[in-house]
Structures are given as C-alpha cells and as structure tokens.
Structure 1
Amino acid sequence: MKLKFLLLTVCLLTAGLMQSQAQQFRALVFSKTAGFRHQSIPDGVVALKKLGQTHVFSVHTTEDANYFKDENLEKFDVIILMSTTGTIFNEEQKAAFQKFVRSGKGVVGIHSATDTEYDWPWYNQLIGAYFLAHPKQQTLRLEVVDSNHPATWHLPKNWLWTDELYEFRNINPNIKVLLNADESTYQVAKGNGANHPMAWYHEFDGGRVFYTALGHVESAYEDPDFLKHLYGGIWYAATGEPMK
C-alpha cells in the first residue's frame, strides 16, 4: 500500500509539473472597481478563463489589490485589467505594478481600464488615455488601421460593431492605433474627431501594453471576432510575439 501511495504521489506531482511547464504564459486578471461596476465583468472573467483553456495559458483572478506585491506579480507574464474603475491602488501597490512593467512584462486593458487611476500620470501614459465620455450604445464602423498585429489579423478593413463607445482625453501620442472609430457612422457624445482610437498597443517603460475600448456589453464575450481580438492583444502583451 505504501509503495502504491508513493507511486501515485509521484505521478500526480509529475503530471502537475508537466501541466505547469506546458502553459504558454501566466496571466493575472484583476477586476477591482472603485467607481462604476460593469455588469459584464463576470462574463469577461469567464471568457478569459475559457481563452486560457483554449490557448493553453494559466489564468489567476483576483479583485484584491493587496495581491499586488513583488513576490506575487513576478509569477506572471501579463496583467489583464478587466474593466477596472476608480482609484484602486495604494502607493505600495503602485510601486509593485511599476516594477512588474519595468521588468519587461505585459499589461492588457479592457474597456474601463481607461476609467481608472485619474491621479496617477504614469498610469495614464501606460494605459494610453483617460475616459472622457460615451453616448448611448450604438452600432458603428470600426476601421482597422493596422492589420499586422495579432489583435487585428483576422478582422475585415471595415468592422461593424455594437457597444458602448468610449471617447478619450489625455491620449498618449506614442500609442500605435489598431482600430479607429468612424464618427460619421454614429451619434457621438463629445467626439474625438477623425482620429478616434478604439484599440491600440505600445511599448512603455520597459513593458508591452495592449488596450481595447470594446467589451462593455455582455454579448461581446461570446463574439468570436472580439475574443480573437482580445486574445491577440493578450498574446502580444504576454510574449512580445510576433512584434519584433
């Protein structure tokens, strides 16, 4: 019996090690809110877990900002900010987040990640812009500006989409725009004009960042094109591939 127990233990440990080694990368999904809380957050978290299963990367979820410590964050390759809002980090947590980025890791922002940390200039430059306003939910034409990125490889030049359509302020001029909103195809709130980015990426402070303004509505997290868009951005931020 002891021998059988020992063999079973060794097999389980070996299987666990092999499963861990098989993961492409490790993602931390953080969905804390201190302002408006989106009803689609649970749908988004479930979708990210499914993406992890489909594309063989590990997903850990939390809404506890105390988890932002060096010894915890160093386990991950990418942090995914799932519709965070408001002021969600204290000074120690900010320092750990900055160290994570500066170590060459990745950050993904989804929808209201731009409605977060308005008093932290470093975060504004990292995420790429701050939320300004949005009109009612509508359908619009999204123009694929750059089809050479894994977040947009699969998309048509003109993508018809329905969502809550963010407008922005304090846009980092160094972001590389992937999707642009055609304001002539819907009713704006205040508007950003001809240059209205809706998804972008850039390198910042040693790390890689991808942001998409899409994802307010629950149905987005069941849409194959949006999920490919999201996974392409996660893959880029986590690995840097194939953008070299």
Structure 2
Amino acid sequence: MIVPHLLLAALAFQTNPEAGAYEWPRSAEYMSERAVLVFSETKGWRHEAGIPAAMLFFNRLGEEEGFSVHSTEDSRVFTAENLARFQVVVLNSMTGDVLTDAEEMALQDWLEAGGGLIALHGAGDGSQESWPWYRENVIGAVFSGHPIGPQFQDAEVQTLSDHPVTEGLPESFVHNDEWYSFAAPPGEDFTPLIGVVEGSYKQVAGGVWPDEDLVMGPEAKDHPVAWTRCIGKGRTVFSALGHQPQAFEAEEHKRLLTNALAWVTADEESGGCPAR
C-alpha cells in the first residue's frame, strides 16, 4: 500500500539541459519513502489543458491520502536509482519519443520488478514509435484516431469487468471526452475495465485521419477505453480518457484513477497479478 506521508511535494521542475544528471529539487528530500512520479514530457501532440488537470488531480489525491507527488518533464529522472524512490509512475499524456534507450530500459526493469504504472490518454496515441516494448506490453492496441465532428461528445460508458479498478463504478454512465479508437481491442493478456457504446456518439473522422474507420464494434466490450495488465511483478493501467480538464472532475473517472492507484500499489494478490 502507499506509505502515508503528511507532506505533498508536488513540483514541476526544470533542469539545465546541459547537465549530465537529473538534479532533484531541494524539496525532494521531504518526499515520503514511497511516492508517485507524474511525468508529462511531450514531443508529439501537447494536451495543454488535460496535462495540468491530471497533475492537479494527483496532487489533490496525495493531499487526501497522504502520499508525495513529484512532477517533472525531464526524462533524466528515469534511472534505476531515481525510480527506486517511487511506487507509482504516471505517464501523463506523454507523447512522442521522449525517452532514451537507457531511460526506457530503466522504466521497464522497474516495472517488471514490481512497480505500478498508470498511462493516461495521449500516452496511448501510438506516437511512441521507437519503443515497441511499451506499445505492445503496456498499451497493447494500435491507435487509429478519434472523432473530429464533433471532437468532444457525451457517450455511454459501460463497466466491463469485476475488478478492483472498477470497484464502485455503476454498470453504465455518461462521460464527455475525445473518444479514442483502436485497430482492435488489446489481447487476452489485458483485462478490459470500461468500454464505450459506439451508437451513443458520432464517429466522424477527419483532420489527419480523413479515411480512417473508427468503428470497433456495436457493444462496449468491442470498444474498451481503459484496461489493465500484469507485467512481471508489476501492474499497469491505461485510461484513454482525459483530453479535457473536465475528465478529471468526472466522478466515475476519478473513481477509476483512484482505484487504479490503489491497485497498482497493492501487495496482496489481486486481479490475477502476482504478489510483490
């Protein structure tokens, strides 16, 4: 479980890009032994509104539940020594090839050894082209586009699994977001959590996807928008929701993410994953 701590160390920290190592801000010494890293660097599409909203959500959750949050856009934080400080890493709409090969390997090793990873929205848009391990093992589905006309819509979402991450969610609810489509749902190694009913919104593509078919199937199970997977001793949760700030004020999405944080840090066997 997350180690209680009274101080929230929520920091957006920039370092000298010419420096040879990641420079911790002085406040980092006050982080709890187990803390959450929120990483928001982008080299692809920048979710200017959703990124700070997600950061604020985890900051508030840390204040409520007593864990520390360290926020950065400096990929040099991804070393074995630095990652050992954290129980959870949140890839906050990280887009593009932002990590070096060594940084990618450090995160992979940390996760497989028992870390907890939460990937949000843009972190599943397929732009991490040079990191096939991440695309195949964490996301597990190929992004195909999202509606343009209109881009943000109310849609019916259904709960797909009796899983710790979906605990407390209604069987069905309405959510407003930018609805990602994928070439196919993730494979059988993944557990779908929630899915969107395609008939409840308009699937009109456009922009950079004028000819893309966004249809995945008529039922919510055909079009999952959040799922989880165990990788080694680690646990991952991906949510395709979260383009707009309102997504992080919606009670159902807040419940999903709060449960996700608890589940990826659970010590006991839960949801088919090995104990730490």
Asked if TM exceeds 0.5, the reply is yes
CA distance in 1, matches of 2:194, 2:179: 12
Look up the match of 2:43.
34
CA distance in 2, matches of 1:97, 1:170: 26
Look up the match of 2:233.
206
SS of 2:61 mapped into structure 1: helix
How far has the Cα of 1:225 moved from its partner? 2.5
**Is residue 2:180 matched to residue 1:153?**
no
Provide the TM-score with structure 1 as the length reference.
0.85
Look up the match of 1:122.
133
SS of 1:203 mapped into structure 2: strand
Q: Is the 8 A contact 2:146 2:180 kept in 1?
A: yes
Look up the match of 2:202.
187
Pick closer, same or farther for the CA change 1:78–1:18 going to 2, 3 Å.
Answer: closer
Q: Is the 8 A contact 1:211 1:233 kept in 2?
A: no
Unaligned 5+ segments in structure 1 are 1-16
Q: Is the 8 A contact 2:169 2:252 kept in 1?
A: yes
SS of 1:227 mapped into structure 2: helix
Q: Is the 8 A contact 2:175 2:250 kept in 1?
A: no
How far has the Cα of 1:24 moved from its partner? 9.3
Q: Is the 8 A contact 2:153 2:177 kept in 1?
A: yes
Q: Is the 8 A contact 1:181 1:198 kept in 2?
A: yes
Q: Comparing 184-193 with 47-56, which one deviates more in the overlay?
A: 184-193
SS of 2:86 mapped into structure 1: coil
Provide the TM-score with structure 2 as the length reference.
0.76
Look up the match of 1:112.
122
1:139-178 equivalent positions in 2, closer than 5 A: 139-146=154-161, 148-169=162-183, 171-173=185-187, 174-178=189-193
Percent identity of paired positions between Structure 1 and Structure 2? 33
Look up the match of 1:88.
98
SS of 2:182 mapped into structure 1: strand
Look up the match of 1:226.
253
RMSD after superposition: 2.3
Unaligned 5+ segments in structure 2 are 8-29, 206-213, 272-276
Supply the AA of the counterpart residue of 2:146: H
Supply the AA of the counterpart residue of 2:177: D
Q: Is the 8 A contact 1:24 1:56 kept in 2?
A: no
SS of 1:126 mapped into structure 2: helix
The one of 69, 74, 86 aligned to 1:64: 74
Q: Comparing 198-207 with 29-38, which one deviates more in the overlay?
A: 198-207
Q: Comparing 24-33 with 194-203, which one deviates more in the overlay?
A: 24-33
CA distance in 2, matches of 1:98, 1:61: 20
Q: Is the 8 A contact 1:208 1:240 kept in 2?
A: no
Look up the match of 1:4.
none
CA distance in 1, matches of 2:31, 2:75: 28
Which is greater in Rg?
A: 1
SS of 1:48 mapped into structure 2: helix
**Is residue 2:84 matched to residue 1:74?**
yes
Q: Is the 8 A contact 2:192 2:226 kept in 1?
A: yes
SS of 1:151 mapped into structure 2: helix
Deviations 1:156-177 (A, max 9, x none): 1111111000011365302100
Q: Is the 8 A contact 2:157 2:173 kept in 1?
A: yes
